[in-house]
Amino acid sequence: MELVTFWLKNYVDVAITVFDSVGHGRSGGTRAHVNSFKDYVGDFLKVSEYVQSKNNEDTQTFICAHSLGGLVTLTGILDTSYGFPFPLKGLIFSSPCIRPHTPLSAVSLPLLETLNKITPKLHLPLIYKGADLTRDSDRANDFDTDSLIPKFMSVRMAKEIIDASNKIIGLSYYLKIPSLFLIAGNDKVVDAGSTVLFAHGIDKQQTEVIQYPEHLHELWNETNRLEIFQTMKKWVDKELKESP
């Protein structure tokens, strides 16, 4: 909510739409489980359709996407089978899940495939805690104690994320929407190097990449998050100024 409040305080005539993915937060569904990555993208498209229904011809729409939300957003836009039809002014990605860090080695991926066939809802415990996500001890404690945050993911969810990542990683060339990538260099959840390579595959006129070498995964909950918010605002202002 701190980021939402920041946007509301810094712009006039602005609306913010947020939602919890299925199986997360206050949304329904089996906790931290998804039958198909298409379910995530389908919900993203429904929210996009709702937002578009509230817009007028002068509305400038930006998407802020963090971690798994980044993978969902990029899949919805770049996978042509979804036919994303809505106009966007810009995209802001915070630690997007271009490729996840995973304890599964190449040798153990067949095991994941086997488990997915036998027991897709089996829980895989998260390999990180709040202190691995942010250097802000209060925010780290919030993560550890929040009952709405699952501390596991299902086998199927893990497989769907890995499969979606493998599909998206070579498609950055086709992203034609101005994009800002905020990358945490000390990320223990997603592979920062893969995100850098992905972003560098986009037209340099369309993208800006900012790296934070010492930061952890949750950039919007980091100790200097207000500075990061201001960096995002500066980029948004630039894009708005360049509007026709």
Whether 169 and 134 have beta carbons less than 8 Å apart is answered as no
User: The domain containing residue 48 runs over which residues?
Assistant: 2-241
Tell me the CA distances in angstroms from 19 to 5, 25, 90, one per residue in order: 16, 9, 19
Longest pairwise C-alpha distance within the chain: 55
Distance of alpha carbon 30 from alpha carbon 216, whole angstroms: 28
The count of domains in the chain is 1
Q: What is the mean pLDDT of residues 111-124?
A: 91
Residue 106 pLDDT grade (very low, low, confident, very high; cuts 50, 70, 90): very low
Question: Left, alpha or beta for 29 (phi > 0: left; psi -120 to 50: alpha)?
Answer: left
Q: What is the mean pLDDT of residues 64-70?
A: 98
Confidence (pLDDT) at 102: 67
Confidence (pLDDT) at 105: 46
Q: What is the 3-state secondary structure (H, E, C) of 172-197?
A: HHHCCCCEEEEEECCCCCECHHHHHH
CATH number at residue 63: 3.40.50.1820
169-220 pLDDT per residue, tens: 999 999 999 999 999 999 999 999 999 999 999 999 999 999 999 999 999 9
Query: Residue 34: which residues within 8 A CB-CB, separation 6 or more?
Result: 22, 23, 40, 154, 156, 157, 160
Whether 84 and 51 have beta carbons less than 8 Å apart is answered as no
As a whole-number percent, the residues of the chain with pLDDT over 90 amount to: 91
Least confident window among 81-90, 101-110, 151-160, 188-197: 101-110
pTM (predicted TM-score)? 0.95
Whether 62 and 92 have beta carbons less than 8 Å apart is answered as yes
Confidence (pLDDT) at 145: 97
